[in-house]
Amino acid sequence: MEIFDMKVLRNVLVPVASVTGSTFLLYDSVFSSRTEGFTPFEMIMGIGLLFVFLSFTDFVKKHESVWAFCFTIVATSAVNFRVSYAFADLLIDNVLAKIGVIYVSCIMLLSIEEILVLAVIRLIWLKQNDKGFQKMHLRDVRRRERMLERLYEKIEYIDRKYDGYSYRVNHNRGPDVEELEKYFENWRNTKCS
Amino acid sequence: MAKVNVKGKYPCRANWVSVFKKGDKYIARDGVGDEEYEISANVARYLLSLDGNTHPLKVEGYEEEQCARMYNYLNRRELIRDSGSKIILGTSKIHTLFIPNKPFSKSSVFKILNAILMTSFLPVFILGLYRILCCKYSADFDLMLPGIVIGILLTMVPHELGHAIAALSYGAYVYEFGLLRMGLLPGAYVMIDEAKLKSKLYKAQINMAGIEVNVLLAGICMILISLGKDGNIWYKCSGFLFAVVFELLIGILTNIIFYKGLDGEHTLTNLLGVDCGDLESCVKANIDALFSPRRREKYFEKNGANGFAYMVVGVVWILNQTVIPIFFAAEAVEIFGGLVRWIWRFLT
């Protein structure tokens, strides 16, 4: 059967095993029940599993950064939550405030980890296919440009009709232009998003 | 291109705008907004003649009506800046402090400084943290208040200088440096154009350099605190240094979040490979595909399993954009409530 093909198995087993292993190792390195204190060896192993995942999984090829981002979110979630909880528990009594602080400190820790991990990944895998974001973005930009051009034509038409030559030193936007700018902002927010 | 006099009597061409010829077309490039406008030869000549000393309606070779029309056109595209060093840009009031003669530099000093910054910030911070947690020292908390005031400047100004050093070392353009005010919040800024850089790592380093400087300064301050012994200068300054470290750490942690407009978001955007630096529209376009079965099918057909990874990035980004403002608003209400309670108790 195709499902037992080695390639398929590898692409399922390696991600699952590396993510769960990394999550456990990273958590255990900081909050181990067996040893007291921080164990750097487990942390190195946990980070090493990320590279195992990126090297041995087929669908990750040329998209290492994005997958490393996803991997880091899952693998560090447990340890980030525990660290944030310990921090919030130490400082705050209110439950709602505690939830907020836990969430924000989780995000802070995650951002630091992501930046460190992604910088290393970019250094190792220099050539990556970044078109997943790029194509979407360019299409969106072109659409927005077309809309802007149409709007500028409209503004210029109104400008010519009513107050084409308004100019004041140190206050160079005439009142009707300001209104149009507001209109432009609303228009952009509603149509482009 | 002739240098403009931003402190002149009249509005001038914005110093971050360059005009050049591409084939038979003239292009006005807004280096800060990263936008290019195709303009006619007439408008290009008019824009170049706005140097701050020329009245925008009395440019040689043009009639007044023609000048007004071109002025309105250019001003609407933010290619012209008001006269004086204090101007309003978007929602913030900016005060230009320094405009370099050339927006780029080939000097190796910046490369060396950037290399030192990149290699030293983490070891110095770890050493500082180790010394402050594990070594014996004595501290005096007398100078906390001046530390808080000066700490604000020490957090912002070197932060922006870090961005500028990294940008100049990689050959990006630095247009100006100054102070700004958004509502009541003070800040500093540096205008950088990194569009011509191709390496995403370079761009990421430019965006990260500010935080790296803050981390380095925090590390140095912590090492100095740990040198405090009864009566010596570091003992006397320890309160001041503690306040500075506290503000630097707050600055680092708030700036590194994956939130729109912050350095952390810019850095992650570069590292994820979004070349144009606008993750928002990419995320919206990706998430947009989820809500229509036809588009969803097409999307996953094109991107395969990687489409899932892009979606995860999008979901995390959107979560951050929604929850973080709520948290900070709640914190502001809490602080304001505390302040009101304190004043009420003080008065009664």
Pick from A10-14, B5-9, B122-126: least confident: B5-9
Q: What is the mean pLDDT of residues B255-260?
A: 90
Q: Which residues contact B54 (CB under 8 A, 6 or more apart)?
A: B10
What tokens appear for B329 in the block? 């608003």
Q: What is the ipTM of this complex?
A: 0.85
Q: Cβ contact (<8 Å) for A165 and B68?
A: yes
| Residues of chain A with C-beta less than 8 angstroms from the C-beta of B80 | 172
**Min Cα separation A123/chain B (Å):** 8
Q: Cβ contact (<8 Å) for A137 and B200?
A: no
Report the pLDDT value the prediction gives residue B116, as an integer from 0 to 100. Answer: 95
Three-state SS at A125: coil
CB B95 within 8 A of CB B85: yes
pLDDT confidence band for B261 (50 / 70 / 90): confident
Residue A125 CA to residue A118 CA, distance in Å, equals 10
Nearest to B257 among A107, A118, A140 (CB): A107
Q: Quick one: CA dihedral B21, B22, B28, B30, positive or negative? A: negative
**Min Cα separation B328/chain A (Å):** 9
Per-residue DSSP letters for A133-159? HHHHHHHHHHHHHHHHHHHHHHHHHHH
Three-state SS at A36: coil
pLDDT confidence band for B103 (50 / 70 / 90): confident
Report the pLDDT value the prediction gives residue A106, as an integer from 0 to 100. Answer: 92
What is the Cβ-side half-sphere exposure of residue B13, based on CA atoms within 13 angstroms?
A: 24
Q: Tokens 């191709």 correspond to what residue?
A: B198
**Min Cα separation A33/chain B (Å):** 24
Report which of residues B130 and B183 the model is more confident about.
Answer: B130
pTM: 0.82
Mutate to test the interface with A, among B306, B315, B328 (most CBs of A within 10 A): B306
Q: In angstroms, how far is CA B52 from the centroid of its own chain? A: 26
CB B26 within 8 A of CB B38: yes
Q: Cβ contact (<8 Å) for A172 and B82?
A: yes
Cα separations in angstroms, B93 against B11, B178, B204, B254, B263: 16, 11, 27, 22, 20
Q: Cβ contact (<8 Å) for B324 and A107?
A: yes
Residue B270: is it exposed, middle or buried by C-beta count within 10 angstroms (0-12/13-18/19+)? buried
Nearest to A132 among B204, B303, B312 (CB): B303
Report the pLDDT value the prediction gives residue A173, as an integer from 0 to 100. Answer: 38
Q: Cβ contact (<8 Å) for A133 and B201?
A: no
Q: Quick one: CA dihedral A177, A178, A182, A185, positive or negative? A: positive
Q: Quick one: CA dihedral B138, B142, B144, B150, positive or negative? A: negative
Report which of residues B270 and B348 the model is more confident about.
Answer: B270
Q: What pairs with residue B186 in β-bridges? A: B181
Report the pLDDT value the prediction gives residue B304, as an integer from 0 to 100. Answer: 82
Three-class secondary structure assignment of chain B = CCCCCCCCCCCEECCCEEEEEECCEEEEEECCCCEEEEECHHHHHHHHHCECCCCCCCCCCCCHHHHHHHHHHHHHCCCEECCCCEEEECCEEEEEEECCCCCCCCCHHHHHHHHHHHHHHHHHHHHHHHHHHHCCCCCCCCCHHHHHHHHHHHHHHHHHHHHHHHHHHCCCEEEEEEEEEECCEEEEEEEEECCCCCCHHHHHHHHHHHHHHHHHHHHHHHHHHHCCCCCCHHHHHHHHHHHHHHHHHHHHHHHCCCCCCCHHHHHHHHHHCCCCCCHHHHHHHHHHHHHCHHHHHHHHHHHCCHHHHHHHHHHHHHHHHHHHHHHHHHHHHHHHHHHHHHHHHHHC
What residue in A sits closest to B329 (Cα-Cα)? A100
Mutate to test the interface with B, among A74, A136, A173 (most CBs of B within 10 A): A136
Question: Over the stretch B211-233, which tens digit does the pLDDT of each residue have?
Answer: 999 999 999 999 999 998 888 88
CB B255 within 8 A of CB B160: no
- A123 to chain B, any CB pair closer than 8 A? The answer is yes
Pick from A161-165, B74-78, B239-243: least confident: A161-165
| Residues of chain A with C-beta less than 8 angstroms from the C-beta of B326 | 100
- A141 to chain B, any CB pair closer than 8 A? The answer is yes
CA-derived radius of gyration, chain A = 26
Mutate to test the interface with A, among B7, B57, B282 (most CBs of A within 10 A): B282
Strand order in the sheet with B25-30: B17-22, B25-30, B35-39
Residues 49-88 of A with CB under 8 A from B: 59, 63, 65-67, 69-70, 73
Mutate to test the interface with A, among B30, B53, B59, B76 (most CBs of A within 10 A): B76
What's the mean pLDDT when you consider all of chain B?
A: 86
pLDDT confidence band for B127 (50 / 70 / 90): very high
Report the pLDDT value the prediction gives residue A134, as an integer from 0 to 100. Answer: 58
Pairing of strands B92-98, B173-182: antiparallel
Question: How many residues make up chain B in this entry?
Answer: 348
For residue B308, which of B290, B285, B284 has the smallest C-alpha distance? B290
Pick from A116-125, B54-63, B241-250, B279-288: least confident: B279-288
CB B208 within 8 A of CB B170: no
Q: In angstroms, how far is CA B44 from the centroid of its own chain? A: 29
**Angle at the Cα of B262 from the Cα atoms of B258 and B268, rounded to 5 degrees:** 45
For residue A140, which of B2, B283, B197 has the smallest C-alpha distance? B283
CB B43 within 8 A of CB B70: yes
Nearest to B71 among A104, A139, A167 (CB): A167
For residue B129, which of B211, B248, B237 has the smallest C-alpha distance? B248
Report the pLDDT value the prediction gives residue B218, as an integer from 0 to 100. Answer: 94
CB B92 within 8 A of CB B182: yes
pLDDT along chain A (193 residues), means of 10: 68 91 92 77 92 90 92 94 90 82 91 94 87 60 64 59 38 45 53 37
Say whether pLDDT at B59 is over 90: no
Segment holding A161, helix H or strand E: helix A131-162
Question: Which amino acid would we find at residue A184?
Answer: F
Strand order in the sheet with B173-182: B86-89, B92-98, B173-182, B185-193
Report which of residues B11 and A168 the model is more confident about.
Answer: B11
Q: Cβ contact (<8 Å) for B273 and A69?
A: no
Q: Quick one: CA dihedral B220, B225, B229, B231, positive or negative? A: positive
